[in-house]
């Protein structure tokens, strides 16, 4: 960068030196020029000159005035007096004539003498000086006034030009704002003429719907007022004792079998459950119960996830000590079983009154992300180990296909069984009418169709009860 700057200064100095010349160099065609070549194609220090070394052609003016050919520089010489003739004498001026003479000597001298003329001129000079002295202040005042007027006129001109410029700018701004106002006016007119009426119609429709809802609410409120003329009584009061689950409630003093309110996790909302505090030392939480088939268990996936049915009802004792038909909900069952080691007790009774049970010391349901995979172990009881070993009446592969352990939960709208996956005509839930951990298909189906009267092979499973103990 420094080298480039130095070269620039040298070139500039050479250029400036050439500009000082008041004449052009002579033709140098064919002559070696420093910094150039013989052809003269390179640019010399006078970069503003033409690239060629040829002289420019001269173009004379179109009109050339002619030379002067009349008149003379000198007057004619005086003629000499011929020899023999007396020379004429010049007329002499009179001393007092003041330099004035007449052409005819006979006329005499009529001009005033020099003294009179001088006296007259002196008198005129004094009067003229007085007049000049009187006029000088007026001239000075007039000059100052003229300067003031000139300055004032200049300031007025400058002010006028500034006002004209401001006026021009204001006119341009006014024009711009006028255009914007016109655009806004067109937009507002379009909105008022088209959009507003459409919005008003939409709002009118919404208003009509709201008015109908208000009328229905007013009617419902009036019905509620009619129904609540007498004090309302709680049909199923919840005991004061509560806990994380039924074993916790039992340890806190809730030893009666009835409906309680539990909250397994502080991050979730509490919910109602039925606690069996008499079977096998109590502490059992009822997760499923079927009595008379009054509740349909052929439900969708979301209903099994949330739970459905009646938790408990009152038979006249003032508290809900009788469990109803219900499914607690897969989310809640999964939450309870993942709190710690959990046991499950399945009690069943057929139409003749015969009772059997199956108990598993380990029972866990995974979350919905794994489709509530079932995991059980530690069987005891007399109902048969259907969850781990399958149907005892079958052998080989047919028996293996009825094992429920490790299976995902299935409903008729979400098929997770092993019976031809993807074929809607081969679904265990559709065929058996419930939601369960179907394989292909089952050895136990407590949530299947409810058969009244014992007319099928599975009648001994028609009345079933599943309880879980958490501890």
pLDDT higher than 60, residue 230: yes
Asked if pLDDT for residue 112 goes beyond 70, the answer is no
Element (H, E) at 470: strand 463-470
Residue written as token pair 């806990």: 243
Average pLDDT over residues 246-260: 91
Q: Is the pLDDT of residue 231 over 70?
A: no
Of 78-92, 124-138, 210-224, 358-372, the least confident: 78-92
Q: Could you tell me the CA-to-CA distances from 90 to 87, 93, 100, 101, 107 in Å, in that order?
A: 10, 9, 14, 12, 17
| Spatial CA neighbour of 348 closest among 340, 336, 356 | 356
* Among 10-19, 67-76, 135-144, 332-341, the range of highest mean pLDDT: 332-341
Average pLDDT for 398-402: 90
Closest-CA residue to 377 (of 366, 367, 387): 387
Residue 69 clears pLDDT 70, i.e. is over it? no
Which residue in the block uniquely carries the two structure tokens 């016109």?
Answer: 182
Pairing of strands 374-381, 355-365: antiparallel
Q: Could you give the CA distance from residue 195 to residue 407 in angstroms, rounded to a whole number? A: 59
Answer with the residue of higher pLDDT: 86 or 300. 300
Q: With 60 as the cut, is the pLDDT of residue 366 above it?
A: yes
- CA-closest candidate to residue 470, choices 328, 323, 346, 284: 284
Q: How far apart are CA 447 and CA 295, in angstroms?
A: 11
Q: Does residue 40 carry a pLDDT above 50?
A: no
Is the pLDDT score of 240 beyond 50? yes
Overall average pLDDT of the 264-270 stretch = 89
β-bridge mates for residue 437, sequence order: none
The maximal CA–CA distance of the chain, rounded, in angstroms, is 203
With a pLDDT cut of 90, the percent of the chain lying above it is 30
What distances in angstroms separate CA 311 from CA 258, 290, 322, 329, 348, one per listed residue?
A: 10, 11, 9, 12, 19
Contacts of 364 (CB under 8 A, 6+ apart): 337, 338, 342, 374, 375, 376
Q: Tell me if 255 sits within 8 A of 434, measured CB to CB.
A: no
CA nearest to 250, candidates 281, 222, 227 = 281
- The residue among 221, 311, 244, 297 whose CA lies nearest residue 469 is 244
Cis peptide before 135 (omega within 30 of 0): no
Q: To the nearest whole number, what is the mean pLDDT of the chain?
A: 76
- E strand or H helix that includes residue 434: none
**306-331 mean pLDDT:** 87
CB–CB of 286/464 below 8 Å? no
- 19 and 12 in contact (C-beta within 8 Å)? no
Question: How sure is the predictor about 108, in pLDDT bands with cuts at 50, 70 and 90?
Answer: low
């Amino acid at each position: 960068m420094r080298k480039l700057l130095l070269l620039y200064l040298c070139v500039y100095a050479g250029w400036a030196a050439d500009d000082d010349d008041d004449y052009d160099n002579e033709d140098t065609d064919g002559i070696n020029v420093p910094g150039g070549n013989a052809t003269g194609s390179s640019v010399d220090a006078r970069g503003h000159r033409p690239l060629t070394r040829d002289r420019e052609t001269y173009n004379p003016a179109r009109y050339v005035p002619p030379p002067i050919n009349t008149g003379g520089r000198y007057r004619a010489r005086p003629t000499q007096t011929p020899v023999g003739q007396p020379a004429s004498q010049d007329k002499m001026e009179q001393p007092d004539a003041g330099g004035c003479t007449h052409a005819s000597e006979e006329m005499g001298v009529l001009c005033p003498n020099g003294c009179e003329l001088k006296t007259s001129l002196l008198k005129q000079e004094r009067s003229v000086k007085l007049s000049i002295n009187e006029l000088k202040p007026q001239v000075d005042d007039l000059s100052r006034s003229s300067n003031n007027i000139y300055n004032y006129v200049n300031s007025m001109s400058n002010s006028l030009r500034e006002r004209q410029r401001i006026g021009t700018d204001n006119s341009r701004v006014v024009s711009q704002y006028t255009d914007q106002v016109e655009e806004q006016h067109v937009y507002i007119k379009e909105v008022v003429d088209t959009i507003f009426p459409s919005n008003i119609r939409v709002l009118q429709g919404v208003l009509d719907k709201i008015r109908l809802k208000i009328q229905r609410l007013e009617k419902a409120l009036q019905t509620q007022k009619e129904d609540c003329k007498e004090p309302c009584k709680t049909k199923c009061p919840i005991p004061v004792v509560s806990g994380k689950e039924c074993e916790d409630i039992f340890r806190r003093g809730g030893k009666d079998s009835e409906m309680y309110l539990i909250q397994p996790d502080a991050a979730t909302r509490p919910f109602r459950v039925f606690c069996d505090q008499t079977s096998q030392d109590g502490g059992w939480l009822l997760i499923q119960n079927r009595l008379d088939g009054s509740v349909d268990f052929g439900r969708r996936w979301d209903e099994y996830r949330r739970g459905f049915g009646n938790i408990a009802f009152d038979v006249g004792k003032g508290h809900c000590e009788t469990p109803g038909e219900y499914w607690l909900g897969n989310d809640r069952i999964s939450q309870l079983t993942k709190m710690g080691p959990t046991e499950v007790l399945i009690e069943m009774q057929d139409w003749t009154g015969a009772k059997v049970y199956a108990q598993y010391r380990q029972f866990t349901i995974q979350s919905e992300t794994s489709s509530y995979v079932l995991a059980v172990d530690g069987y005891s009881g007399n109902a048969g180990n259907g969850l781990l070993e399958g149907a005892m009446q079958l052998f080989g592969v047919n028996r293996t296909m009825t094992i429920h352990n490790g299976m995902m939960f299935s409903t008729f709208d979400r098929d997770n069984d092993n019976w031809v996956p993807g074929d809607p005509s081969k679904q265990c839930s559709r065929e058996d009418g419930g939601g369960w951990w179907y394989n292909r298909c089952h050895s136990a189906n407590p949530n299947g169709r409810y058969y009244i009267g014992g007319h099928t092979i599975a009648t001994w499973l028609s009345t079933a009860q599943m309880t879980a103990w958490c501890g």
